[in-house]
């Protein structure tokens, strides 16, 4: 029996849906959750300790970047980037 392209496409979509649906149900059954919010982040060194041991803190917390260099510290410009001032 020869199937038309349309029937092949429909059967492919059904098979695809069954595979992904089974995977989804299995993950939910075993309690898998993906955390999309980042509350903490591990770094290779401790920023708070680095800031505490310097006369002028080198880094400051940032809502989007977690941490960013402080302006005018260690050669950073007003935007916290290394180098001289520049205009946008």
Q: What is the pLDDT of residues 26-63, one digit of tens each?
A: 999 999 888 777 666 666 666 667 677 777 777 787 78
On average, the pLDDT of the chain sits at 82
Predicted TM-score (pTM) above 0.85: no
How much is the average pLDDT of 4-9?
Answer: 93
| Chain centroid to CA 87 | 29
Beta strands in the chain (DSSP E): 59-62, 66-69
pLDDT value for 44:
66
**Residue 25 pLDDT level (bands cut at 50, 70, 90):** very high
- Rounded Cα distance between 44 and 4, Å, is 57
Residue 5 has pLDDT above 80, yes or no: yes
Q: Give the up-direction half-sphere exposure of residue 14: CA atoms within 13 A in the CB hemisphere.
A: 6
pLDDT value for 21:
97
- Rounded Cα distance between 88 and 56, Å, is 28
Q: Which of 87, 66, 68 is nearest to 76 (CA)?
A: 68
pLDDT value for 65:
78
Does residue 68 contact residue 60 with C-beta atoms inside 8 Å? yes
């Amino acid at each position: 029996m020869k199937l038309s392209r349309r029937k092949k496409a429909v059967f492919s979509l059904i098979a695809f849906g069954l595979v992904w649906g089974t995977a989804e149900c299995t993950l939910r059954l075993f309690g898998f959750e993906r955390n999309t919010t980042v509350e903490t982040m591990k770094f290779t060194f401790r920023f708070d300790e680095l800031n505490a041991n310097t006369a002028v803190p080198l880094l400051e917390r940032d809502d989007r970047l977690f941490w960013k260099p402080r302006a005018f510290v260690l050669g950073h410009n007003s935007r916290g980037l290394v180098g001289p001032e520049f205009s946008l």
